Amino acid sequence: MIAAYFDTAYLLKLYREETGSSAVRALAAKVDVLVCSLHGRAELIAATHRKIREGTAAPAHLDALLAQVAADQSAGALDWSPITETHLNRVADAFRRAPATVFLRAADALHLASAAEAGFIEIYSNDRHLLSSAPLFGLRGVDVIAR
């Protein structure tokens, strides 16, 4: 089984037409299952609600997202990685080792720790801060949009 870890920014591009969606969808079509931190599920819902607040989406878009995510989960195409104490310990360790110049947000650290704990060697995102912090977690950050 081929799996890939997508952060929330990449997942959103699967469910909404945005810049880079076609490249992300092409990548997703090559794998059997997409994995994301359980925190990413909340981020995905919040990001869709933000689009409603900004006027670029209707409330029906959130209902459609939730239905599609549920269908993708049921089909085994999307898996949410739980967050455990082990993940938080890995986050703490990364922050201990990070130089003061590293811009690492807590949500990005959770994605990176989740990907690393799940045994991934790559994480897919277009978030430059997450990508630049990936080596702190032993990961290679990949952006298929920037290619």
How many CA atoms lie within 13 Å of 141's alpha carbon, on the beta-carbon side? Answer: 22
Average pLDDT value for residue range 13-35: 96
Say what the pTM is. Answer: 0.94
Tell me: the pLDDT tens digits for 5-20?
Answer: 999 999 999 999 999 9
pLDDT at residue 147, as a whole number: 67
Q: Which CATH number applies to 3-142: 3.40.50.1010, 3.30.565.10, 3.40.50.300, 3.90.1150.10?
A: 3.40.50.1010
Answer whether residue 61 shows pLDDT above 80: yes
Of all residues in the chain, what percent carry a pLDDT higher than 70? 99
**For 66-86, how does the pLDDT look when each residue is reduced to its tens digit (9 = 90+)?**
999 999 999 999 999 999 999
**Rounded (10°) angle between helices 8-15 and 38-54:** 60
Q: Which amino acid is at 14?
A: L
